[in-house]
Chains A and B, each alone.
Chain A
Amino acid sequence: EVQLLESGGGLVQPGGSLKLSCAASGFASSSYAMSWVRQAPGKGLEWVSGINGGNSDTFYTDSVKGRFIISRDTSKNTLILQMNSLRAGDMAVYYCAKGLGARNYNELDYWGQGTLVTVSP
């Protein structure tokens, strides 16, 4: 059974850093495109970043470029999102999601339960 379990959320001050992890089970996450999607309180979905399942190409939405880094720890079957220079606008529930294939960033067939990131002084 495919499962995704996010961790690492919490309260951080503006300008601070946080590292999110997504532990995958039931499949080899390195063979699939994996994405982070966030949802601010009461707002819609926003795709944040994705990593290719083959060559590990990475992609980011404009608002996080230069601040966030997506990566994998293949030995732990884990997806990582390193978030730096955090702003109030980054406050959201962050979901980890699996793509249907190695290059499917928009076809997300499994989602984690989400982890809340709060940015506040």
Chain B
Amino acid sequence: QSVLTQPPSVSAAPGQKVTISCSGRSANIGNNYVSWYQQLPRTAPKLLIYENNKRPSGIPDRFSGSKSGTSATLDITGLQTGDEAEYYCGSWDSSLRAVMFGGGTKVTVL
């Protein structure tokens, strides 16, 4: 059972939008930044979003993040087949003094 809660899977047709939620508590998301990672099959994770809504260079603006209270959201617009991957949220937990990841969300492009 992960400290941060994500839906196991989401799906949409090419060109559509998917939203992935990440729910935590005050010790983590409520008082710390959220990051999002994309993991393609058989590869290392890749940073998509940091500090709730910032994109590293090279990440397209189809990926966007937001945070409200103890929850965060990753939106992927203009869905492409290459977006099929596992997506993880992460946040520092001030009580546990460790990084907590969500259980991961599998994105399927129909």
B-binding residues in A (CB < 8 A): 35, 37, 44-47, 50, 59-62, 95, 100, 104-109, 111-114
| Inter-chain contact B2/A44, CB cutoff 8 Å | yes
| Inter-chain contact A45/B44, CB cutoff 8 Å | no
Which B residue sits closest to A104, measured CB to CB? B50
Are A45 and B101 also in contact (CB < 8 A) when A62-B96, A107-B35 are? yes
Of B61-69, B75-83, B86-94, the one contacting chain A is B86-94
| Inter-chain contact B88/A45, CB cutoff 8 Å | yes
B32 proximity list for chain A (CB < 8 A): 106
CB distance from A46 to the nearest CB of B (A): 7
A-binding residues in B (CB < 8 A): 2, 32-33, 35, 37, 39, 44-47, 50-51, 56, 86, 88, 90-92, 96-104
Residue picked from A95, A105, A112, most chain B C-beta under 10 Å: A105
Residue from A45, A62, A109, A113 in contact with B98 in the complex, judged by beta carbons closer than 8 Å:
A62
Task: Pull 25 A–B residue pairs with CB atoms less than 8 Å apart, ordered by A.
Answer: A35-B99, A37-B45, A44-B2, A44-B86, A44-B88, A44-B102, A44-B103, A44-B104, A45-B88, A45-B90, A45-B104, A47-B90, A59-B97, A62-B96, A104-B50, A106-B32, A106-B90, A106-B91, A106-B92, A107-B50, A107-B51, A108-B35, A109-B56, A111-B45, A113-B44
Which B residue sits closest to A113, measured CB to CB? B44
Residue from B86, B90, B98 in contact with A61 in the complex, judged by beta carbons closer than 8 Å:
B98
CB distance from A79 to the nearest CB of B (A): 15
CA distance A37 to B51 in the complex (A): 19
A107 proximity list for chain B (CB < 8 A): 33, 35, 47, 50-51
| Inter-chain contact B47/A108, CB cutoff 8 Å | yes
